Amino acid sequence: MNKRVITYNQVIGFHSYPDAPPSCIYLSARHRHVFVIRCKFEVLHHNREIEIYTMQKKLESTLQNEFGSPCEFGSYSCEDIAQWLLNRFSSMNEVEVLEDDFGGAAIQR
């Protein structure tokens, strides 16, 4: 049986898509989103191996320490942000990054 703890964060941030196709050229300029970030961490038992609220705060502070507040992601895509998080949290086995909780990317180890 697989057990996972799921975290949920909302992070205000800015990014751009410099190589946006002509149909979405407006995305090449810096623009704002509420990035919704859901992470899954594998756990071995039922007794708060990973405390959800503590991990949510750790995720938020890790992002803010690297990208500021609000987060300045530059040309990072949702995929880039997800990969960046996976690289920093070894216990994380899946992450989903959505723009305004509408669309985005998911990466699994």
Rounded percentage of the chain residues whose pLDDT exceeds 70: 100
> What does the pLDDT read at residue 47?
85
> What does the pLDDT read at residue 25?
97
> What does the pLDDT read at residue 45?
83
Instruction: Spell out the residues 6+ positions from residue 54 whose beta carbon is closer than 8 angstroms to its own.
Output: none
> What does the pLDDT read at residue 2?
85
pLDDT lower than 70: segments of the chain:
none
Range of the domain at 16: 3-108
- Closest C-alpha among 57, 65, 69, 103 to residue 84: 65
Quickly list DSSP for 87-109: HH-TTEEEEEEEETTTEEEEEE-
> What does the pLDDT read at residue 42?
92
CATH number at residue 94: 3.30.479.10
Q: How many domains does the chain have?
A: 1
